[in-house]
Amino acid sequence: MSLFRRVASLAAMFALFITTTALAQPSADEWHGWIDAQTETLFDDVVTWRRHFHANPELSNREFETAEYIAEFLRGLGMEVQTGVAHTGVIGLLEGGRPGPVVGLRADMDGLPVPSRVGLPFSPDVVSEYLGEEVPVSHACGHDTHMAMLMGVAEMFAARRDELPGTIKFIFQPAEEGAPPGEEGGGELMVKQGVLQDPDVDVIFGQHIWSLAPAGQIGFKAGGILAAADQFNITVNGKQTHGSSPWTGVDPIAVASQIVIGLNMIISRQTELTKEAAVISVGRVRAGVRNNIIPETAELIGTIRTLDTAMQDKIHADIKRTAEHIAASQGATVDVDIQRGYPVTFNDPALTEEMAPTLERVGGDKTVRIDAITGAEDFSFFQKEIPGLFLMIGGMPPGKDPSEAAPHHTPDFYIEESSMKTGVRALANLTIDYMLQAQ
């Protein structure tokens, strides 16, 4: 055979290989139909996993049994599993049989020091230690559903890893509710320890069940969807004296009361609320020991919620100025300490618009662009490093009046389990669509 014919023959064989490979790649429609079918098939398992977690909640940085349960499950799927990340975090790596991007999927693991009084057959009867006290523990924020939904996605894609056009990093994160005082934890520590490297994650998707939105709803928003959460501590330094003669001292309680009013004026009169929402709330006032002693100090502790970093900086400065000037007007001084907490949960605008058709297809007319929420999420630490998209999945039972639904972090918090189908489908479709669009 001549060299020309040999080269032509090899070229034809290569073209056939490419054609055959292309034909073997499932289409987007095939993947979508398969995900829908698998969501139904796996739903009983997802419910079982959720009920296990619900009955066995563990507090932040103490999710030992939860982590072991998840790690064993992921190993059973043949994944490379890493444990002990950020104390109790678990990572499962699923490498697809085809080249493609690395997609991170994240679920949080921790429960709360909140009793459960919903009265389900699988309601928890768990007591743990929090800040030196024995407290009841429950999954009063839906993290049990988050883990179960991500496990459903993991089992789904593990069954077709050879056809998967990319790699998925399943991130089960501890301490989303905040590490105990004196400890590091959560998404921030995971990022510090390299969860987004080896292999490098291109994008990350996450979601939160939402008890105040109807089951089946997918809520999303480009830009800030959840607020930054900062804490302030204001100590008012006065002059102690007898309660019968306040003019002989400086009353820090009276000054602190005026500061509370001044903080409220920052939001109502000094903040451009047409730009973004913002909140300042005083959660604790502490001063004095008895009725006839004006104390030396008073303490205010509260939270600041913002959805824009420039507004966040301005409000911090406004708080310091307001407290100092009010104190000075009464002959007192103040110490103002503002601690930055979770950043704004910021959905990358380009990624959000790229994936909007996926969400609209999955949720249909139940997919809605929502207003920002002034709650906070440490998913934001992942989004500071790479593009991310965070969703709100409705979990309220059909026909329920939203005004009567129990909010998160309360003993009556309740989630309709059928809503987990929406979450499984959303995460799975986001993953495969992003991978296919990157081909």
Query: Which of the following is catalytic: 58, 108, 155, 176?
Result: 176
162 CB neighbour count, 10 Å cutoff? 9
176 is catalytic: yes
Give dist(CA 409, CA 140) in Å, integer. 5
Give dist(CA 318, CA 271) in Å, integer. 10
* Cα four-point dihedral sign 435, 168, 39, 76: positive
Query: Which of the following is catalytic: 63, 108, 110, 177?
Result: 110
Give dist(CA 136, CA 124) in Å, integer. 9
- Phi, psi at 83, each rounded to 5°: -120, 170
Cα distances (Å, whole numbers) of residue 99 to 118, 214, 313, 356, 427: 47, 38, 43, 24, 20
- Phi, psi at 2, each rounded to 5°: -70, 160
**What are the residues whose beta carbons fall under 8 Å from the beta carbon of 404, sequence distance 6 or more?**
none
Give dist(CA 199, CA 403) in Å, integer. 45
Catalytic residues: 110, 176
